[in-house]
Structure 1
Amino acid sequence: MTGVTDTTTICIIGAGPAGLAALKTLLDSSQCQQGEWIPTVFEGRSGLGGVWNPALPDINPPMTPLYDSMITNIPHPVMAYDSFPFPPSTPIFPPASTVLTYLNAYAACFNLLPHIRFSTTVVDVRWDKTINRWSVEVSTGERLFFDRVIVANGHFRVPRYPEIPGVETWLSSGHAMHSAWYRSPSEIGSAKSVLVVGAGPSGSDISAELRGRVKSVLHSVPGSTNQEGRSFSVKPRVVRLGPHGTVEFADGSMEYDVDLCIFATGYQFAFPFLSEAQLPTCVSPDSLELRRSTYHVYPLAMHIFPVSSEFPSTSLAFMGLLLRGTPLSLFEAQAHALVKVFQTPDSLDVARETEDILGRRRHLSTQFDVTGDPSAVAREWHRYTEHESFVYRDRLYEFAGWDRRVEAWEKEMWERKVELRDKWRKLVASGQSESWLDGVGISGRTEWVELLQRVLSMTDVAMR
C-alpha cells in the first residue's frame, strides 16, 4: 500500500480489551460500513484477550502476568462493555477464564475476527513524511502503510521493580521474582518465609493465597504500620534487601531468613515498536513535545491524542493508558471519542486540550515534590482518583455525542468494590452464591444492580 488511496487504512496494535473495543466501534461507523475506513488489528499471539489470555511464564517477560486463581477485582456489571453485558448468572467477580470467554464472545458477536491478523507482531512504527503515512513493519517481514495508528498493546507485561538496595542481588540469586512469573503456590518450592511487596490487587491476592501454604507470609504495604501475626504479618515499605534473607523496613524493623521475595510492584509502559527517534524518552518533559517514560506518554489530549508532533495529531492514538477506572466500559468510551476525532478532526480542540494538560501538570506539581523526585508527575499522570475517572468517562461520552453518563450505582459499586468482593467471597464459601445468581441478568442490567445492592446489604450472620 503506497501513495494516495480512496480509503483510510487504520492499524490497531493489540487484540486485547482496548484493541477489541477500538475495532468494534470503528466497524460500527458509517465510514467502515461504506468501505471508506479499513481497520486491521495485529496481534502477536495466536488468540485474543491480551492480559486475560493465559500463558506459561516461560519467556522473559511472560506474555501475561495471569496467575491461576485470578478473579476480577471489579464487579462485571461495572467493568463490562456497555454494548455487551456478561451472560446471565455469571459470578459477580468472575475468574479470568470467564473474562476470556466473554471477550471471545464479544469478538464473535460483532464479527471482529476477520479483521485480526493473529501471530503477527508489530515490530516498527514510524511516520513517513515523504508520503504522510505511517510505515508499519510486522514480524512476517512485511512493511505496510497506514493513514492512522491506534496503540492498544496494554501495559501489564514489562515488570517494574522498586529502586531499593539489594533488589538485583536477590533477583540474580533466585531469592526474588516479579509477580509476572507467579502462577500458583506450588511454584514456591521449599520456601518457608515469603515476602510479598505491593499493595495492589495482585499483591493482596498472592499474599492471601500463600497463607497456610508456607510457614510465614510477610505482606509489605507502603504506608502501613507493623502488624505482626503468627503466620501472616503486614509490614511497611521495604527499604533494603540484605544478605542471608535479611529485610529492612521503613520503620526500622527487620526480618531475617526470608526465603523468597515476590515483587507485585506493577509494570512499565513499553512501546517496543516506537523507536527513541519516534517517541523520545524524558521522565519529566518541560515542553509540549511528544515524550514518553516508563510511567506515561506526554502530552496527550484526553490521554489519547498527541497535541504536538511532526505528524497530524489525529493520526496516532493511544488507548488504555489510564491506571484507574472501569476498564472495558472506559475503553469503549475512549473508542467512541477516537471515532469522533477520526470522523471530524477539527473536533479536537488542540488549544483547549493543551490548556487542560498544562493545568494538570501544574496541579500535580503542587501535590508532589518534583524538585526532589523528577518522576513524581510522570508516575501520577495517568493515575486518576476515582472521582476523576468518572468525570473523565463522562467527558468522553459528551465529546463523542453519546447519550450516556456514569450512573450513581456504578460509582457506588466501584467505590465499594473491596467490600463487595469480600462479601461475595463469603457467599461463595457459604455455598449460597449459585442460588443468588440463578437467572440474574436475563431481564437486563437492573437485575444486576439489584443483586449488587443486595450483596452489600447482607450481614456476616446471613452469609454463614
Structure 2
Amino acid sequence: MNKAGDSRGSETGRTPIQHVAVIGAGISGVVSAAHLLKEGFGVTVFERTDRIGGVWCYEERVDRDPSFPNLVPPAQDWADVDAENLSKDEALILHGPPGPCYAGLKNNVPTSLMKSSLLPWVEGTEEFIDQGRIVHYLQDIARLYHVTENVQFHTRVESVTKPADKWIVRTSTLRLEADTFSISRKSESFDRVVVASGHYNIPFVPNTPGLSGWKARFAGRVIHSKSYRTPEPFKHKTVLLVGAGASALDIAREVCAVGGKVYQSRRESKYDLTGPRLPQEVARVAMVAEFIAHGIDSSEAPWDEHSQGVIPGKVVLEDGTTLKDIDYVVIATGYITSYPFLEGLEQPHVAWEDADETVLITADGYTTHNLHKDIFYIPDSTLAFIGVSALVSTFSLFDFQAKVMAKVFAGHVQLPADSIMKTEQRERKARFQPGDRFHALLRGEQDYIGEVLTWVNASLTRAGMPAMEGMDAKWLMAYDNFHANRL
C-alpha cells in the first residue's frame, strides 16, 4: 500500500506520486480506485463497513429509524460513538450503518449492461442474479486490481477540507476487541479526493399529514424500505407501499409471493417504470393525502405493534379514496443525497434555485450542484464524484466515469475552462423542468457517453495519445434491447 507522503520515482527526477482519497468501497469506489491505480496514483479507500460491495452487501441488522418526516440532509453527529455505555453492536450501527440490501435483492439492470470494463462476467452468467454473486464480482475486481490492500475498513470520513494546496481528510476507525470497541482518529493529506459514497444512506420520508403520528403510535408497523429484509413479516398481511422505484417493485413482488395484499401508492411520473412489471394482484392507487388514526389517545402508551390486529386507522388518498385494514406501511420514497464530511458545501436550508456556484447540496436533497459532466467539482476539479448519475446502467456508466476521472487526474485529458463549465451548468439548469430529476439520464445515457467521449478524445488526440473507447458492441445491443422492452 502506498501511504501518503511516498514519492516513488523522485530519485530519478520523475514527478512524485500523487495520492488520492476514495470515499466508499462500493462499485463506484472500487472502479475509481482500480483506474487510478492503473494510472500510477497512490490510493487510499475509506470504507465504513467491514467489506467491499457497498449497497449490495446483505446483513440482517438494520439501521436506526430515520426521523418521520425526513426531508433534508441532517447534521451529522461525529461524536455519536463517543457516548458513554455504548455497546459494541450500537457502535457498529452508528459508525457504519447497515445498508438497504434485502435478502432477495437482484439487479434490475441485466448483467449484459451492468458490467465493468475491468472484468467481464463469467461466461454463462444469467442476466439477473442475486446480490451475493454481485458482491463477489465487485470483490474480484478489487482483488485483481490491488484495490483490496488499499482499503481501510471500519473507517468513516468525518471531514474533508482544503485549507491550502492539499486536501485534509479526517477519519475515525472503529476497532473491535471481543465485546468492546475503541475509536482512533487521524488526519491525512491528499492531492485529490474522489467521493464514491453512494445515494442509499439517508432515507427520505415525506411530510405526509398524519404519517409521523402513525410512526410514533404504531412503531414497527411503519417502516422505510431501508429496513426491509425479507417478506416473512408481511405474510398474508395487507401492506400499503408508498413509492414506485425499484425497491417498491421488489417488495411488492416478494410480499405478493407470500400471500400478502399490496396497495402501491404513487404519483404519476415519467420516472415510474414499475407499473407493467408489478404482479397483477397489486392495486395501484393515488398518492396518500393523509394518515388518520381512530380512537387513539395521544397520551396513551404506543400501540402494541406485535398485536395481530390491523392498524386502527384509515388512509385517505389524493383522489378521495379511503383505505382501511392496513397491517403495515412501507415508505419506499428513496433517499437524500448527502456528503456531511464536505464541510460548508452542504446547505440544506437553501432552495434549489438559490444554489450559488460553490454549493453541492441544497434543500431538495437530490441534486449535487456544480459538477462538470456529473463528475468534477467546478470550483476545484481535484475533487470528483463517481456515481451521481441516476437511472443508468450503474456499473457500466460508473466505470466509464471513473476512467474519465483517472485520465483527467493523470493530466492526459484537460478540462474546459472554468467559464465554459459554469456556462454549461447554468444552461443545464435552465432546461430543468418541475418534476425532473437533475441527474436522471434515463434513455439519454448514450448521448451522455457520446458527449463525454467527444471532449475526452479531442484532448487525447491533441496530446498524441490513443483515443478512449466507449461501450462495446454487445453493450450497445443490450442497451437497445433493454429499453425497447421497457417501452
Q: What is the TM-score normalised by the length of structure 2? A: 0.75
1:135 Cα deviation from its structure 2 partner: 1.0
Measure, in 1, the Cα distance between the counterparts of 2:326 and 2:438. Answer: 35
Q: Deviations over 1:125-171 (max 9, x none)?
A: 11122xx2111111131111111111001111211112311221122
Structure 1 residue 302 corresponds to structure 2 residue 348: no
Aligned residues: 392
1:290 Cα deviation from its structure 2 partner: 2.5
Equivalent pair of 2:408/2:414 in contact (CA under 8 Å): yes
Q: Assess, with a 3 A threshold, how the Cα gap between structure 1 residues 4 and 86 changes in structure 2: closer, same or farther.
A: closer
1:406 Cα deviation from its structure 2 partner: 6.5
Q: Which runs of structure 2 are paired with 1:303-322 in the superposition (5 Å)?
A: 303-308=374-379, 313-322=380-389
Give the aligned partner of residue 290 of structure 1: 359
Q: Deviations over 1:398-418 (max 9, x none)?
A: 444312246541331331465
Give the aligned partner of residue 450 of structure 2: 394
Structure 1 residue 77 corresponds to structure 2 residue 132: no
Q: Which runs of structure 2 are paired with 1:173-252 in the superposition (5 Å)?
A: 173-174=218-219, 175-188=221-234, 192-223=237-268, 232-243=282-293, 244-252=312-320
Give the aligned partner of residue 167 of structure 1: 211
Equivalent pair of 1:161/1:265 in contact (CA under 8 Å): yes
Give the aligned partner of residue 59 of structure 2: 55
Give the aligned partner of residue 11 of structure 2: none
Equivalent pair of 2:392/2:440 in contact (CA under 8 Å): no
Q: Assess, with a 3 A threshold, how the Cα gap between structure 1 residues 232 and 176 changes in structure 2: closer, same or farther.
A: same
Equivalent pair of 1:13/1:41 in contact (CA under 8 Å): yes
Q: Assess, with a 3 A threshold, how the Cα gap between structure 1 residues 101 and 210 changes in structure 2: closer, same or farther.
A: same
User: Considering only aligned residues, what root-mean-square deviation do their CA atoms show, in Å?
Assistant: 2.7
Question: In structure 2, what residue type is equivalent to 1:85?
Answer: P
1:40 Cα deviation from its structure 2 partner: 0.7
Q: Assess, with a 3 A threshold, how the Cα gap between structure 1 residues 45 and 300 changes in structure 2: closer, same or farther.
A: same
Q: Deviations over 1:264-297 (max 9, x none)?
A: 111111212222x244333313532223132122
Measure, in 1, the Cα distance between the counterparts of 2:322 and 2:58. Answer: 37
1:257 Cα deviation from its structure 2 partner: 2.0
1:252 Cα deviation from its structure 2 partner: 1.2
Q: Percent identity?
A: 26
SS of corresponding position for 2:185: coil
SS of corresponding position for 2:223: strand
Structure 1 residue 136 corresponds to structure 2 residue 203: no
Deviation larger for 15-24 or 166-175 = 166-175
Q: Assess, with a 3 A threshold, how the Cα gap between structure 1 residues 357 and 406 changes in structure 2: closer, same or farther.
A: farther
SS of corresponding position for 1:76: coil
Question: In structure 2, what residue type is equivalent to 1:386?
Answer: R
Give the aligned partner of residue 177 of structure 2: none
SS of corresponding position for 1:205: helix
SS of corresponding position for 2:162: strand
Give the aligned partner of residue 280 of structure 1: 347
Q: Deviations over 1:70-124 (max 9, x none)?
A: 1110110111012311111212111111101111111122222111111221111
Q: Which runs of structure 2 are paired with 1:353-392 in the superposition (5 Å)?
A: 353-364=421-432, 367-368=433-434, 380-387=437-444, 389-392=445-448
SS of corresponding position for 2:391: coil
Question: In structure 2, what residue type is equivalent to 1:384?
Answer: L
Q: Assess, with a 3 A threshold, how the Cα gap between structure 1 residues 212 and 338 changes in structure 2: closer, same or farther.
A: closer
1:242 Cα deviation from its structure 2 partner: 1.5
Segments of structure 2 that go 5 or more residues without pairing to the other structure are: 8-15, 66-96, 173-183, 270-274, 294-311, 458-467
Structure 1 residue 253 corresponds to structure 2 residue 321: yes
Give the aligned partner of residue 450 of structure 1: none
Structure 1 residue 42 corresponds to structure 2 residue 66: no
Equivalent pair of 2:47/2:156 in contact (CA under 8 Å): yes
Q: Deviations over 1:270-327 (max 9, x none)?
A: 212222x24433331353222313212211111111223xxxx221111101111111
Measure, in 1, the Cα distance between the counterparts of 2:392 and 2:59. Answer: 25
Measure, in 2, the Cα distance between the counterparts of 1:413 and 1:43. Answer: 36
Measure, in 2, the Cα distance between the counterparts of 1:39 and 1:151. Answer: 13
Question: In structure 2, what residue type is equivalent to 1:287?
Answer: D
Measure, in 2, the Cα distance between the counterparts of 1:10 and 1:360. Answer: 29
Question: In structure 1, what residue type is equivalent to 2:130?
Answer: P
Segments of structure 1 that go 5 or more residues without pairing to the other structure are: 369-375, 420-464
Measure, in 1, the Cα distance between the counterparts of 2:127 and 2:453. Answer: 26
Measure, in 2, the Cα distance between the counterparts of 1:9 and 1:342. Answer: 11
Equivalent pair of 1:72/1:95 in contact (CA under 8 Å): yes
Q: What is the TM-score normalised by the length of structure 1? A: 0.78
Give the aligned partner of residue 145 of structure 1: 189
Equivalent pair of 1:125/1:134 in contact (CA under 8 Å): yes
1:360 Cα deviation from its structure 2 partner: 1.1
Equivalent pair of 2:63/2:99 in contact (CA under 8 Å): no
Match of 2:125 among 90, 99, 103: 90
1:220 Cα deviation from its structure 2 partner: 1.5
The structure whose residues are more often helix, as a share, is 1
Measure, in 2, the Cα distance between the counterparts of 1:307 and 1:345. Answer: 18
Q: Assess, with a 3 A threshold, how the Cα gap between structure 1 residues 181 and 418 changes in structure 2: closer, same or farther.
A: farther
SS of corresponding position for 1:71: coil
Q: Assess, with a 3 A threshold, how the Cα gap between structure 1 residues 46 and 4 changes in structure 2: closer, same or farther.
A: closer
